[in-house]
């Protein structure tokens, strides 16, 4: 039988501190420069420079998929996936942030725009 302690120990504190340090490092590692929105669908990839103000419609695997861009914030306004969980994820604005709709096979990612980064395709 394992002799796991029942009270909180210094080791527990170390594990939690390590986890929090990892979370903090991941939170602060997002890019701070200009941003682009990349949308990946089975039909291809599209990129949009941010800030922008527009409504995008894509044909997802389960029906139309509509995303609204308002400045740096992207919100899913319509999707036809079974439970709409991608719309429930809330607005997307942080570099590195993403919304993934597995049933629709659509992925939205905000990329930090590095100076030397080559875009596959850019649409304005």
Site residues, another protein (CB under 8 A): 1-16, 19-20, 22-23, 26-27, 29-30, 38, 40, 85-86, 88-89, 94-98, 100, 102, 107, 109-111
b (16+ CB within 10 A) / e for 22-33 = eeeeeeeeeeee
Residue with smaller CB distance to another protein, 60 or 95: 95
Contacts of residue 4, defined as CB under 8 A and 6 or more positions apart, other chains included, come to: none
- Tokens in use for 16? 């939690």
Q: Which is nearer to another protein, 68 or 100 (CB)?
A: 100
Which tokens sit at 67?
Answer: 């995303």
* Dist. CA 25–CA 48, nearest whole Å: 27
Instruction: State the nearest-atom distance from the C-beta of 53 to another protein, in Å.
Output: 23
Q: Tell the smallest beta-carbon distance from residue 29 to another protein (Å).
A: 7
Closer residue to another protein (CB): 23 or 122? 23
């Amino acid at each position: 039988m394992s002799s796991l302690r029942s009270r909180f120990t210094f080791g527990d504190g170390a594990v939690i501190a390590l986890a929090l340090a990892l979370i903090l490092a991941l939170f602060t590692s997002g890019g701070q420069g200009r941003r682009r929105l990349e949308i990946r669908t089975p039909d291809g990839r599209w990129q949009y420079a941010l800030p922008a103000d527009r409504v995008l419609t894509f044909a997802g695997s389960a029906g139309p998929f509509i995303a609204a861009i308002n400045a740096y914030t992207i919100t899913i306004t319509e999707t036809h996936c079974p439970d709409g969980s991608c719309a429930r994820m809330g607005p997307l604005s942080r570099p590195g942030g993403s919304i993934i709709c597995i049933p629709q096979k659509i992925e939205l990612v905000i990329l930090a725009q590095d100076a030397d980064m080559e875009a596959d395709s850019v649409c304005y």
